[in-house]
Amino acid sequence: MAVGMITIIALLVIRIQAYSPFPALPAGIELPEGAEPAAITAGAGWFAVVVQDGGESLILLFDDDGTPLEQIPIENLPAD
């Protein structure tokens, strides 16, 4: 019984270590000059970076290889 428990625990540990919940990101991306990253999220084949550029906030969409796809301004944010 002890051997069975050890085997189950070992298999769980091996399986959990192999799981990567976040997709691989490119080694580097180019943000607009002066933009500070605030958040990142990813999906299958794309990722997005929320940046603050002066008083403006933007969502920058990238392909999974780091190619820029779109810039979306975030409007009507409450003041800090």
Q: Where are the domains of the chain?
A: 25-80
User: Number of H helices and number of E strands within the chain?
Assistant: 1, 4
Residue 56: is its pLDDT beyond 90?
Answer: no
CA trace torsion 5, 7, 10, 12 (10° rounding): -70
H or E stretch at 31: none
Q: What is the pLDDT of residue 50?
A: 92
Torsion of CA 26, 67, 41, 48, to 10 degrees: 150
User: Given this model, what pLDDT does residue 48 score?
Assistant: 93
pTM for this prediction: 0.64
CB atoms within 10 A of CB 78: 4
pLDDT interval class at 73 (50, 70, 90)? very high
Give the residue with greater pLDDT, 54 vs 50: 50
